[in-house]
């Protein structure tokens, strides 16, 4: 995947992008919807739209390329997986405050997460457990089989010992309740990205 372009699920429900901090938004309507979301969040782009392998690709101009170069200085890439678009926005905005973390994509379900993980090869994937279709517990072993070195964190409202054990048994490296996200999530990301040791 090129690092000088933004890739978006097209058509679909959840925007996925490379190097765009703070944008994890649901949409409908193909290119028109994507233009509206990007325009609202980041102003005008001097790039070109084209279809590529089932994705909409925007190749930006010089100003955006400079911003993306700054993004690439951050060392931990994160893919968000949750069926709640509002939570995807909250999580993306929360993580963009960290200098060493960049959200590279967002998926609204397990199947979409597997497709994006294959393309992006993120360092860490945050996975909700209770999702329609392919659940988080079903998604995590498939992520591990596809990307053996990826860090997987179960990020969920289901804060019980039973779900914690189930998540860890389904190949999660860590378990973070959403209620404790502000305190526990970033240390967990750094820990699993560093192979078990927080930097």
> CA torsion angle for 52, 55, 56, 57 (degrees, to 10)?
-60
pTM: 0.65
pLDDT at 138: 97
| Mean pLDDT along residues 49-57 | 44
What would the pLDDT profile of 177-195 be if each residue is shown by its tens digit?
999 999 999 999 999 998 6
Angstrom distance (rounded) from CA 6 to CA 19: 7
What would the pLDDT profile of 17-28 be if each residue is shown by its tens digit?
333 333 333 333
- In the chain the domains, ranked by start, together with CATH numbers, are 6-67 (no CATH), 71-193 (3.40.50.2300)
What would the pLDDT profile of 156-175 be if each residue is shown by its tens digit?
999 999 999 999 999 999 99
What would the pLDDT profile of 77-115 be if each residue is shown by its tens digit?
999 999 999 999 999 999 989 989 999 999 999 999 999
């Amino acid at each position: 995947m090129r690092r000088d372009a933004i890739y978006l699920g097209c058509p679909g429900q959840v925007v996925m992008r490379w190097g765009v901090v703070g944008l994890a938004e649901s949409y409908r309507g193909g290119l028109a919807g994507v233009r509206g979301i990007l325009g609202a969040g980041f102003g005008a782009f001097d790039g070109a739209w084209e279809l590529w392998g089932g994705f909409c690709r925007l190749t930006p101009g010089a100003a955006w390329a400079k911003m993306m170069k700054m993004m690439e200085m951050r060392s931990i890439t994160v893919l968000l997986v949750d069926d709640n678009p509002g939570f995807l926005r909250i999580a993306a905005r929360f993580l963009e405050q960290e200098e060493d973390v960049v959200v590279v994509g967002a998926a609204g379900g397990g199947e979409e997460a597997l497709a994006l993980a294959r393309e992006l090869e993120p360092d860490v994937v945050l996975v909700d457990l209770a999702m329609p279709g392919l659940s988080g517990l079903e998604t995590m072993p498939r992520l591990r089989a596809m990307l053996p070195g990826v860090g997987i964190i179960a990020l969920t409202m289901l804060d019980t010992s039973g779900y914690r054990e189930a998540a860890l048994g389904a190949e999660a490296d860590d378990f973070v309740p959403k209620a404790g996200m502000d305190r526990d999530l970033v240390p967990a990301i750094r820990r699993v990205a560093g192979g078990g040791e927080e930097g």
